[in-house]
Amino acid sequence: MKKQAKKVIEKRSECPISCTMDLVGDKWSLLIIRDMLYLGKTTYNEFLKSNESISTNILNDRLVKLTEIGLIAYTGNSKRKKYELTKMGRDLKPILESVAIFGMKHSTADKAFLQNVKKKMNL
Amino acid sequence: MKKQAKKVIEKRSECPISCTMDLVGDKWSLLIIRDMLYLGKTTYNEFLKSNESISTNILNDRLVKLTEIGLIAYTGNSKRKKYELTKMGRDLKPILESVAIFGMKHSTADKAFLQNVKKKMNL
DNA sequence: AATCAAACTTGCATTTTGCAAGTTTAATTC
DNA sequence: GAATTAAACTTGCAAAATGCAAGTTTGATT
């Protein structure tokens, strides 16, 4: 029954940008948040089926971390967890918006991607 | 004279958010951009002296990558490089702003940090 | 010409991520 | 209510990214 010790997230400095990156500046966290915000995903298996193919151990690790941080929270028993963004988590939306805008302008990404998603979600 | 091969950055998906994270979603890139945008830094040694203590190999790697991507560019000869943000790089500013706003609201970061910086820089 | 120092480079340890399995236990089916 | 299913993890090991402490190279300064 080895629960991973709740490791304190280290701050590299007092800069608000640096601090935020220390929370969600890894390869996967913001994509999980995106799936919640734009795709309405709530469960482990839904997150697992993203186009970017996150692996199970990383997904689990991120869900635990994001929950510990307080960006997401779950309801339901341990085998039917439903994750939701907290108030704090929803405050990440402007970040995702600006990241998406940059991506639509500069990357070779499919520019219709988020537009379609938003339409589907009535956003 | 081993130049590191210009490795193509892999896209995990067509999502603009994912694509942007594939470009600058590592532990250090946005902090270098921050130093250019808010602190007016332009040289290797200035970047090296950040509060977050980036190490020399990582800094060099990121400067090469960001230059290859086209977010920054340098003038000057190889021993007195002056880096500047490109038009594309300056388009990251809204991302840094929203990240900073989140950090000021939610992290235990020094809330005066960026305010002071901006005042100093007349932003 | 000698010295300095800015801009890298190298080697190796540690941490994070990726991949392919396996395990546990609520919920469903029979 | 026992057997089956599947959602939510867990584990082990390989690969990649990061961290650290040196060293090297080459324009600029003395």
Query: Residue A82 — φ and ψ, nearest 5°?
Result: -120, 115
Give me the pLDDT at residue B8, please: 75
Q: Which pLDDT tens digit goes with each residue over A1-31?
A: 334 445 678 899 989 999 999 999 999 999 9
Please list every residue in chain A whose beta carbon sits closer than 8 Å to the beta carbon of residue B31.
15, 17-18, 21
Query: Residue A40 — φ and ψ, nearest 5°?
Result: 65, 25
pLDDT band, residue B115 (cuts 50/70/90): low
What long-range pairs does B96-100 form, CB within 8 A, spacing at least 24? B96/A17, B96/B30, B96/B33, B96/B34, B96/B37, B96/B38, B97/A98, B98/A94, B98/A95, B98/A97, B98/A98, B99/A16, B99/A17, B99/A20, B99/A21, B99/A95, B99/B30, B100/A16, B100/A17, B100/A20
Predicted TM-score (pTM) of the model is: 0.87
A6 Cβ nearer than 7 Å to chain C strand: no
Q: Which pLDDT tens digit goes with each residue over B87-107?
A: 999 999 999 999 999 999 987
**Distances in whole angstroms, Cα of residue A55 to Cα of each of A12, B52, B122:** 27, 30, 45
pLDDT band, residue A107 (cuts 50/70/90): confident
Helix (H, G, I), strand (E, B) or coil at A114: helix
CA nearest to B10 within chain A: A52
Q: What percent of chain A has pLDDT over 70?
A: 81
Looking at CA atoms only, how far is residue A32 from chain B in angstroms? 11
